[in-house]
């Protein structure tokens, strides 16, 4: 018997969080860059002043809630900067980024975050609450990155969507295979100080949230796709956006695909023969 999902979101109340801001500061340390590079099998020069890999900012200034203040799922308890949405599943649905400059090893990074929008919708799979957060990251008063982050909340009990099963994702000429081992998922959770149990606690992921295995982080997939775009383009893109469509799980290798279209590089992930997992676009 499935667990109840709790109260439905009160959109009028939650929209009081729009405009709330949060500031945080962190340092792009040599040790963080070294561990980030090791997680993604990257080689590089880790001297002070060298450009850090793109999307390493996902590891910076993460909330450090007391362990006693974590919920059952491993996320910090609801409230504070993010609105207290009463739906149990919280996922990073996507985002867009504009890189104005590199973050460099040794930089002290200031981040200003703002709740830009909150919307409650009835989707094909039940009630959804979307929270849009805007981030501006700067170093010594210079803006290095502007980012929009889309977070979606949903219930544990999912109403099956009518219709056929999703079609298999297309295949792009450039391809790269990736095996999401539990070790990689654990390392990425540690880098981002993310205690969400779906990424490392198999019994919780399968028995409580109903997944067939450990869930591959959305930002991890986004990082893989941006690194793939950088390989194809010969340098990191200046603009990058991504959107999650369906989850991927450990023990099931997936493929990174890419295809040039309309002056942009379109990228996507999918397990072999499976549905589209994440779609992205990169531009220079």
- Say how many residues make up the chain: 284
Whether 148 maps to a domain, the answer reads yes
Domain count of the fold of the chain: 1
| Percent of the chain residues topping a pLDDT of 90 | 77
Global pTM exceeds 0.75? yes
Whether 139 maps to a domain, the answer reads yes
Residue 83 sits in a domain whose CATH number is 3.10.129.10
- Does residue 80 contact residue 21 with C-beta atoms inside 8 Å? no
> Which tens digits make up the pLDDT trace of 239-269?
999 999 999 999 899 999 999 988 899 999 9
How many alpha carbons fall within 13 Å on the CB side of residue 111?
22
Residue partners of 130: CB distance under 8 A and separation at least 6: 93, 117, 118, 119, 120, 121, 150, 151, 152, 153
Per the structure, the complete domain to which residue 69 belongs is given by 11-283
What pLDDT, on a 0 to 100 scale, did the predictor assign at position 126? 85
Whether 49 maps to a domain, the answer reads yes
- Sheet containing 254-261: order of strands: 21-27, 108-123, 126-139, 142-154, 89-99, 239-244, 278-283, 264-271, 254-261, 175-178
Distances (CA, A) of 273 to 43, 109, 218, 224: 31, 41, 20, 19
Q: What average pLDDT does the segment 41-49 reach? A: 93
User: β-strand 239-244 against 108-123: which pairing, if any?
Assistant: unpaired
Distance CA 249, CA 209 (A): 13
Whether 110 maps to a domain, the answer reads yes
> Which tens digits make up the pLDDT trace of 155-184?
876 555 556 667 888 887 888 999 999 999
Would you say residue 64 has pLDDT above 80?
Answer: yes
Whether 259 maps to a domain, the answer reads yes
Whether 4 maps to a domain, the answer reads no
Whether 56 maps to a domain, the answer reads yes
Whether 2 maps to a domain, the answer reads no
Q: What average pLDDT does the segment 126-151 reach? A: 96
| pLDDT band at residue 6 using 50, 70 and 90 as cut-offs | low
What pLDDT, on a 0 to 100 scale, did the predictor assign at position 160? 53
Residue partners of 262: CB distance under 8 A and separation at least 6: none
Distance CA 190, CA 59 (A): 9
């Amino acid at each position: 018997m499935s667990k109840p999902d709790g109260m439905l979101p009160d959109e009028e109340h939650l929209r009081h969080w729009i405009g709330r801001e949060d500031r945080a500061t962190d340092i792009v340390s040599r040790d963080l860059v070294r561990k980030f590079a090791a997680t993604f099998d990257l080689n590089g020069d880790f001297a002070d002043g060298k450009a850090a890999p793109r999307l390493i900012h996902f590891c910076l200034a993460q909330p450090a809630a007391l362990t006693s203040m974590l919920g059952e799922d491993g996320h910090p308890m609801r409230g504070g900067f993010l609105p207290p949405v009463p739906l149990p599943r919280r996922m990073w649905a996507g985002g867009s980024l504009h890189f104005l400059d590199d973050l460099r090893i040794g930089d002290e990074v200031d981040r200003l975050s703002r709740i830009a929008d909150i919307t409650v919708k009835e989707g094909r799979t039940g009630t959804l609450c979307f929270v849009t957060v805007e981030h501006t990251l700067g170093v010594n008063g210079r803006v290095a990155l502007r980012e929009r982050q889309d977070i979606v909340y949903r219930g544990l009990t999912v109403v099956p969507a009518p219709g056929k099963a999703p079609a298999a994702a297309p295949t792009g000429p450039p391809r790269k295979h990736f095996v999401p081992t539990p070790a990689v998922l654990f390392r990425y959770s540690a880098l981002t100080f993310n205690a969400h149990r779906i990424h490392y606690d198999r019994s919780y992921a399968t028995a409580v949230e109903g997944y067939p295995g450990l869930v591959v982080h959305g930002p991890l997939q986004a990082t893989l796709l941006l690194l793939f775009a950088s390989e194809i383009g010969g340098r990191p893109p200046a603009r990058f956006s991504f959107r999650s469509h369906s989850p991927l799980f450990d023990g099931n290798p997936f493929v990174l695909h890419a295809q040039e279209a309309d002056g942009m590089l379109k990228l996507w992930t999918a397990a072999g023969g499976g549905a589209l997992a994440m779609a992205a676009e990169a531009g220079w």
